[in-house]
């Protein structure tokens, strides 16, 4: 291993483990295409599917591939509507989500599995209120034998013993999220959708080290707010702007932009998707995609604009998303439709 890679690796793990020892401000898993990760953004999105009965989605993100500590984040999810013919002007949503993240030379891996439940109720004739929560179990593992610490460096090699001792190579804890959404659709061509959620409500503890000096290593509550919209400009073009803000402890993130769906065939069965989003001061995020009937594929690229570009050459992250929307054939065949499906 080259010395430069070793130095970067040392710096990363010094920061990471000092953080875990002081208090856990670890970054949650994230996607630039937040609008394509509905259940992780807000559990109240579970079963909110205006144009279909159920959906299945898969996400893959690779970040910082050109530096010694790349991140690879993956997720799969599914949700569906039920009780929609039993609740006046409302329905329930049920879903599941699995997230996995792998980072660093020590293979720090995180796996989280959640079950989500939401309730959706019409308010008047042109708005909808949704509430939901999810409960899951998270595990983190680390390959400590692959780690190299600063006190092992003798000037040429990592040959010295280390004083850093991990109590566990794996940890696990339960996790709870909850959220509210509100949607407004004043006409068949206009739709607004916004929400707020809070994650880690049970304040789980997370640490590979032994508890000491009164430090509890509690994961701080994370709050997420989003707002998106759809405007049907004509029979060929739909404009979808959106913004997303999240805050956890002293860290915050904002993403905003828009994308356009262009109707290639006139009946909406084939659509071209293109747009651009931005994380101000950090990245510009162009996106392209294609929808064929019930299948949708999108690709985005985070082009780094911050000072990190001197280390990664401006190459930030690539992100791919696939989705399938399905319709029931027998069960609950008569669907109540309250929201406009463009």
DSSP SS3 for 25 = coil
- In a domain? residue 340: no
> Which positions ≥6 away from 69 have C-beta within 8 Å?
8, 9, 12, 103, 104, 105
What integer pLDDT is reported at residue 159 of this predicted model?
66
Q: What is the pLDDT along the chain (342 residues), one digit of tens a residue?
A: 444 444 344 344 333 433 333 333 445 778 999 999 999 999 999 999 988 999 999 999 998 766 666 788 999 999 999 998 888 899 999 999 999 988 765 568 899 999 999 999 999 989 999 999 999 999 988 876 666 666 767 777 666 766 666 667 788 999 999 999 999 999 989 999 999 999 999 999 887 766 555 667 889 999 999 999 999 999 999 999 999 999 998 899 999 999 999 999 988 899 999 999 999 999 999 999 999 999 999 999 999 888 776 666 667 889 999 999 999 875 555 555 566 565
Q: CATH number for the domain including 49?
A: 2.40.160.40
**Sign of the dihedral through C-alpha 47, 50, 56, 60:** negative
Token couple for 34: 């937040």
Strand-pair partners of 296: 291, 323
- The DSSP bridge partners found for residue 103 are 71, 108
Whether residue 305 lies inside any domain: the answer is yes
102 part of a folded domain: yes
Query: Does residue 333 sit within a domain?
Result: no
Residue 57 included in any domain: yes
Q: By three-state DSSP, how is residue 177 classified?
A: strand
Is 137 a member of any domain?
yes
The residues, any chain, with a CB within 8 Å of residue 335's CB and separated by 6 or more, are 53, 81, 84, 328
Count of structural domains within the chain:
1
Instruction: Answer whether residue 336 is part of any domain.
Output: no
Record the tokens describing residue 111, joined without a space.
């796996």
Residue 331 lies in a domain: no
- Domain containing residue 54: 3-326
């Amino acid at each position: 291993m080259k010395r430069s890679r070793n130095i970067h690796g040392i710096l990363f793990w010094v920061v990471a483990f000092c953080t875990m020892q002081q208090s856990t401000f670890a970054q949650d898993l994230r996607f630039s295409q937040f609008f394509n990760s509905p259940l992780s953004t807000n559990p109240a999105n579970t079963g909110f599917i205006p144009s279909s009965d159920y959906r299945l989605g898969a996400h893959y993100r690779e970040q910082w591939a050109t530096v010694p500590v790349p991140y690879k984040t993956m997720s799969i999810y599914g949700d569906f509507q039920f009780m929609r013919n039993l609740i006046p002007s409302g329905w329930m949503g049920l879903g599941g989500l699995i997230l996995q993240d792998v980072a660093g030379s020590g293979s720090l891996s995180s796996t989280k599995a959640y079950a989500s439940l939401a309730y959706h109720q019409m308010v008047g004739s042109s708005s909808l209120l949704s509430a939901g929560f999810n409960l899951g179990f998270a595990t983190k593992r680390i390959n400590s034998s692959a780690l190299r610490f600063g006190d092992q460096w003798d000037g040429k090699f990592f040959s010295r013993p280390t004083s850093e001792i991990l109590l566990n190579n794996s940890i696990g804890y339960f996790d709870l999220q909850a959220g509210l959404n509100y949607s407004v659709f004043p006409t068949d061509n206009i739709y607004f959708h916004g929400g707020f959620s809070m994650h880690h409500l049970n304040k789980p503890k997370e640490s590979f080290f032994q508890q000491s000096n009164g430090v509890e290593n509690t994961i701080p509550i994370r709050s997420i707010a989003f707002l998106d919209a759809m405007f049907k400009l004509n029979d060929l073009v739909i404009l979808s702007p959106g913004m997303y803000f999240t805050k956890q402890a002293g860290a915050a993130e904002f993403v905003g932009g828009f994308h356009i769906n262009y109707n290639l065939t006139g009946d909406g069965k084939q659509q071209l998707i293109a747009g651009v989003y931005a994380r101000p001061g950090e990245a510009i995020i162009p996106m392209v995609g294609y929808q064929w009937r019930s299948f949708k594929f999108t690709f985005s690229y985070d082009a780094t604009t911050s000072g990190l570009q001197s280390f990664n050459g401006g190459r930030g992250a690539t992100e791919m998303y696939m989705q399938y929307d399905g319709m029931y054939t027998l069960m609950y065949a008569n669907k109540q439709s309250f929201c406009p499906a463009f």
